[in-house]
Copies of this chain bind each other. A is one copy, B any other.
């Protein structure tokens, strides 16, 4: 079975597994007080050119998002996000479990727009007492988004501007940041310039697990670690996280992983287009959303794994194909070949 189900089906990039073995008996200090974590932080700070950025590597995306909500917001403050945002739909209400409301805005192609924020923060005629509505305080975006699209630098600058207008924090979920860095004009440097905080995803980019939260805004740094610990987010063997990001941030491994993901996806996309396949979303990143005939899918099911996203109509289904650091070109080609056969066979 060849899998395009997601980008977290393998354990980890070999460089990371090797590092785990080489360091096995080092005897590191617990709770992220170790040298690997320090080196990973330095490597990230160097890439973003922010000497005083706070780096805290947590275990997973949901955990990172909920701890950020919990640590960055006061109880009555809310997060603006699009309905397809991971926090809105795929985290079992983790943000709400910390007491904060998500204000869902329409968005466009999975992205929050300045207009969305304007509507959420503009005059609320109905709040006649000035305290009846939650207070929007943070904008949640993802790069890439859940539907594979990416923000451009200009789009991010516009969001930053309107965030400043309404005194909002800009927070970016970077679960698939490697792919985004490769297929957009947004660099880590830009992320650090425009976001108050963001995370560099590890789980979906070759790490066993781990997401490196980068806190730029000074007012968000204070005693963050207490809250991470309280919510179960401090790994006792924190150096395992540090070590992985030390590897990912060295020798352009993170960038190379993003590049490979996208190359495989581009190859796949090109082939799909040549076969006349439509897409529910036009994605430049490592997630593709083609629409296939059910009769064709029935045939491919035995050899290939993917995720079903939506029922288009009685004959067609929207699926998702994801490429990872471990995706092989031959597998992409085999998929395209078999798809072609089934289409022509119809």
With both beta carbons as reference points, the residue of chain B lying nearest to A63 in the complex is identified as B232
Q: Is A154 an interface residue (CB 8 A)?
A: no
- Given A99-B96, A203-B237, residue A307 in contact with residue B230 (CB < 8 A): no
Instruction: Say yes or no: B101 contacts A93, CB within 8 Å.
Output: yes
The answer, yes or no, to whether A39 is at the interface (CB within 8 Å) is: no
- Are A11 and B30 in contact (CB-based, < 8 A)? no
Q: Are B24 and A12 in contact (CB under 8 A)?
A: yes
Judging by beta carbons under 8 Å apart, are A6 and B30 in contact? yes
Tell me which residues across on chain B come within 8 A of A233, comparing CB atoms.
63, 232
- Whether B90 contacts A126 by the Cβ 8 Å rule is yes
**Does A28 count as interface, using CB distance less than 8 angstroms?**
yes
* Contact present for A78 and B101 (CB under 8 Å): no
**CB interface residues, A 224-282, toward B, < 8 Å:** 225-237, 240
Partner of A230, one of B71, B93, B126, B310: B93
The residue from B27, B30, B134, B311 contacting A129, defined by CB atoms under 8 A apart: B30
Copies of the protein in its oligomer: 4
Please measure, in the bound complex, the distance between the C-alpha atom of A308 and the C-alpha atom of B61, giving whole angstroms. 35
Which of B1, B30, B125, B231 touches A309 (beta carbons < 8 Å)?
A: B125
Q: Which A residues between 106 and 151 are near B, CB-CB below 8 angstroms?
A: 125-135
Q: Which residue of B lies closest to A3 (CB)?
A: B27
Q: Across the interface, do B232 and A67 meet the contact criterion of CB distance under 8 Å?
A: yes
Residue of A30, A78, A309 most packed against chain B (CB within 10 A):
A30
B223 touches A76 (CB 8 A): yes
CA distance A334 to B1 in the complex (A): 54
Q: From residue A234, how far is it (CB to closest CB) to chain B in Å?
A: 7
Q: Are B14 and A24 in contact (CB under 8 A)?
A: yes
Contact B91 A131 (CB under 8 A): no
Tell whether A11 pairs with B232 under 8 Å between CB atoms, given A91-B132, A99-B96: no
Interface readout for A7-26 with B: 1 if CB under 8 Å, 0 if not? Answer: 01111101001001101111
The reply to whether the CB of A209 lies closer than 8 angstroms to some CB of chain B is yes
Interface presence of A70 (CB below 8 A): yes
A298 CA / B6 CA spacing, docked (Å)? 54
Q: B residues within 8 A CB of A128?
A: 30, 307
Which of B6, B135, B208 interacts with A226 by CB under 8 Å? Answer: B135
A3 to B94 CA separation, bound complex (whole angstroms): 38
Say yes or no: A308 contacts B125, CB within 8 Å: yes
Which listed residue, B9, B24, B229, touches A62 by the CB 8 Å rule? Answer: B229
Could you say which residues of chain B place their CB within 8 Å of the CB of A301?
Answer: none
Closest to A317 in B: B125
Q: Which residue of chain B has the shortest Cβ distance to A8 in the bound complex?
A: B236
Complex contact A133–B14 (CB within 8 A): no
- Chain B residues whose CB sits within 8 angstroms of the CB of A308 once the complex forms: 125
Known: A10-B26, A209-B240. 13 other contacts (CB 8 A): A9-B27, A11-B23, A11-B26, A31-B129, A31-B131, A59-B235, A71-B75, A76-B93, A76-B230, A92-B227, A93-B101, A204-B236, A209-B235
6 contacts between A and B (CB under 8 A): A10-B24, A17-B21, A60-B235, A62-B234, A96-B101, A125-B308
> A-B pairs with the 6 shortest C-beta distances?
A63-B232, A76-B226, A31-B129, A93-B101, A92-B230, A93-B134
